[in-house]
Amino acid sequence: MLYYIGCTFAPINNWEDYVDIRAPRNYKDPAKIAAYVAERKQELAGGKAAISPMTGAIADVAIIKKLTPDTQTDKTWKDEVAQCKGPLSGAKALEFIQNDSGLITSPSALSKLVIVGCEMLEMVAIMAVEYIEANHMLPYNLQWLVNFHPSFKYNETPGFVDPARLLFGHDVDMRLAGARFGLPPPTTATDKAVLAVQLGRRLGL
């Protein structure tokens, strides 16, 4: 079962409560220490807090499921099969995938499960946290989410595949990755899922 997924991130409301920024030990001047801490906090507030499992959340998820073998047209793709918004939307998306793929009742479904998306490392880490928040545990059939399951790997199949990072490296900006192939910059969760489709197809997924 092949899913293409995109999401938007947002910091949790009280994210500063979960941040402990310390200057390097060789910093002795109180003014330099304060400046360092302020700069790190500004970086977090500017976007990094949204994609950290400690301080971030998933605001919106779009999932596109591949239905039939690929052809020259987009008619083989079903439009959005899941749109999860609001609090714990990552947990809701996982519940959809579990039910839709049959994983919740058949562990063997894991061997056929591939999830393609840009920013997958950040996405799945936050999804795991959100699922535990909602359900107070991460069950065995979701241990692949945090790479506990040996048969489900990052950037392998079955597993999570991030086409942007496979093609361009770890620090790639996925807007620029899409632009490299003439694709418009993604802004919404659906845009990001479609970008995953387009980049994934170029990798033969």
pLDDT 10s digits, 144-170: 999 888 889 999 999 999 999 999 988
Query: CA–CA separation, 7 vs 125, rounded Å?
Result: 13
* Per-residue model confidence as pLDDT tens digits over 5-15: 999 999 999 99
> 5 or 79: whose pLDDT is higher?
5
Q: Which residues pair with 6 in a beta bridge?
A: 62
Q: In what order do the strands lie in the sheet with 153-154?
A: 82-85, 56-65, 2-11, 114-116, 159-161, 153-154
Nearest to 124 by CA among 174, 43, 51: 51
* Residue whose entry in the numeric block shows the structure tokens 């109180």: 30
pLDDT at 24 over 70: yes
- Kindly state the average pLDDT of the residues 182-204: 91
Q: How confident is the model at residue 69 (pLDDT cuts 50, 70, 90)?
A: low
φ, ψ for residue 120, nearest 5 deg? -65, -40
Structural domain boundaries in the chain: 2-10+60-202
Mean of the per-residue pLDDT values of the chain: 89
pLDDT of residue 78: 58
Q: How confident is the model at residue 123 (pLDDT cuts 50, 70, 90)?
A: very high
HEC per residue, 76-88: HECCCCEEEECCC
